Amino acid sequence: MAEIAARPFDFSFDKDALALLIIDMQRDFIEPGGFGESLGNDVAPLGATVPVVKRLLDGFRSGGLPVMHTRECHRPDLSDCPPAKRERGAPRLKIGDTGPMGRLLIAGEPGTEIVSDLAPLPGEAVIDKPGKGAFFNTNLTNHLSSTGIRQLVLAGVTTEVCVQTTMREANDRGFDCLLATDATESYFPAFKAATIDMIVAQGGIVGWAATVDEILEGLSRG
């Protein structure tokens, strides 16, 4: 097996079992006027990750490796958005309210679309998820099983919420996970740093972490 230089130790991978999973790089979290900004956050740090994620994405595409994208969004009638989620955070606009990019975090609205620089190509799976983790109430497990994927490189936003939740869910389901540290971001820098430390602690109890340069270098040798 080939290897990627990573923390806490090198990540061994099989190209036939490896895929890139990009979490929630959608307008509602990354652009002004979306849900992220409605929570009082500065979205600029998330937007700054787009070129880095694109470089990782291009590397997987050029290598003919599978790519998957997620979008956090809900049904228009909010039947899959419990009050325990909708009422949290004291946002200026809640999930389902109308903002500059349509109804916030509602499937089919402009704000739920993945930013144009990272738009999925035909054949790339797009997983719409109603929760923080990509495995909750989605077909992701079946999709991975049917395609023989056992190892995931993760990127996207936010590091400590949807990315980490998905990584922990994947680990519990037996997947090896590698986080691309400069292709993920948080509204809170300290939260990102703490999340990466938690992931690689105790011998990689959740998974591995590496930079995009390290990942692309490993793929080129694999």
Cα(45)–Cα(192) distance, integer angstroms: 12
Residue 70 φ then ψ, to 5°: -120, 155
| Helix 164-172, helix 189-204: angle, nearest 10 | 20
Q: How many Cα atoms sit within 13 Å of 132 on the Cβ side? A: 14
Cα(134)–Cα(127) distance, integer angstroms: 7
Contact predicate 74/81, CB 8 Å:
yes
Contact predicate 123/67, CB 8 Å:
no
| Token pair for 197 | 């430390």
Catalytic residues: 24, 129, 162
Q: How far is CA 169 from CA 74, 163, 202, 207, in A?
A: 20, 10, 18, 11
